[in-house]
Amino acid sequence: MWARLNDGNKAVSLADVYPTGAWVNEYQVRAAYYPELFVQSHTGEIELLPSLPSAWTSGEITVVKARGGYEFSIKWANVQLVSAQIDSPSGTVPVIRYGNQLLNPFTDSRITFVRGNSQSAFNQIEAENYDSQSGIQLESALYKGTGYLLASIDNNDYTAYNNVDFGSGAASFSASVASNGPGGSIAIRLGSGAGTLAGTCMVPTTAGWQDWQTVSCGVTGAAGVQNVFLVYRELMARSLILTGSNLSSLRP
């Protein structure tokens, strides 16, 4: 309880209060208290070092588990986060919070994100959780209070998502977009930015940066594990925004 109230000092002091005797396993008692000093995930986000005791100014912990099957290894110094490795066997990407900051695991130099062998095409893939990109900027998704959105997308910019598993095949793609410009299109390519064209999604003007529409298009030739490139065409500066939470996977 005290760890969730961000009082690491109190949580540690309670961990020192346990019955004595040969039958007591001290490490099991501490294991019940200590993990949530370093990682908490009960709010839907994963928070790093939420309740660090004041005396533990520097240190390291490995293989702390969080909801969603994630595993964390964290280093800190002078009571500040130095690095964190996130292992995601399923390939999904969590929302990471450190203090009052949301951390993008693909752009924050302190974070190393280790994805499993593949990520399912039939689970929602967050737009901002790309493996590589060209020309893209991230903005906080203020309208939903957490996460990021893709912004300032120009003609021929792209985002890439590696090791997407389509299984026996996918038939459609959908994304939530906002455009205060003339719109354009999203080319879905496999393997590279100039690879096999699996589909093209047209993006209309939505008459405002926060006026969201879901666009969909058919997909062909997407099967097995592929690197997926979304290439943005015929778009002027800031003419398209993709939401992080609503960039849907390719659907069967």
The structural domains of the chain, with segments of one domain joined by +, span: 1-116, 117-252
Q: With contact defined as beta carbons under 8 Å apart, do 141 and 244 qualify?
A: yes
Whether the CB-CB separation of 86 and 110 falls below 8 Å is answered with no
Q: What's the confidence (pLDDT) of residue 69?
A: 86
SS3 state of residue 38: helix
List, as one string, the DSSP characters of 97-157.
Answer: EETTEEE-TTT-TTEEEEE-S-EETTS---TT--SEEES-EEEE-TTTTSSEEEES--TT-
Q: Supply the pLDDT for residue 236.
A: 41
* Whether 127 contacts 159, CB under 8 Å: yes
Query: How far from chain centre, in Å, is Cα 17?
Result: 38
Q: Which CATH class is domain 117-252?
A: mainly beta
Strands (DSSP E) along 153-251, which ranges? 158-165, 172-178, 184-190, 196-203, 213-218, 225-233, 241-243
Task: List the CATH code of the domain at 1-116.
Answer: 2.60.40
Residue 194: the pLDDT is 95
Q: Give the model's pLDDT for residue 78.
A: 94
User: pLDDT tens digits, the chain, 252 residues: what are they?
Assistant: 666 666 666 766 665 545 555 555 555 555 556 777 888 887 778 899 888 888 889 999 888 888 888 999 999 999 899 999 999 887 777 889 898 888 888 788 999 988 777 778 887 787 877 888 998 887 776 655 556 778 888 889 999 988 888 888 888 888 888 888 788 899 999 999 999 999 999 988 887 777 888 888 889 998 888 999 999 986 543 334 444 333 333 333
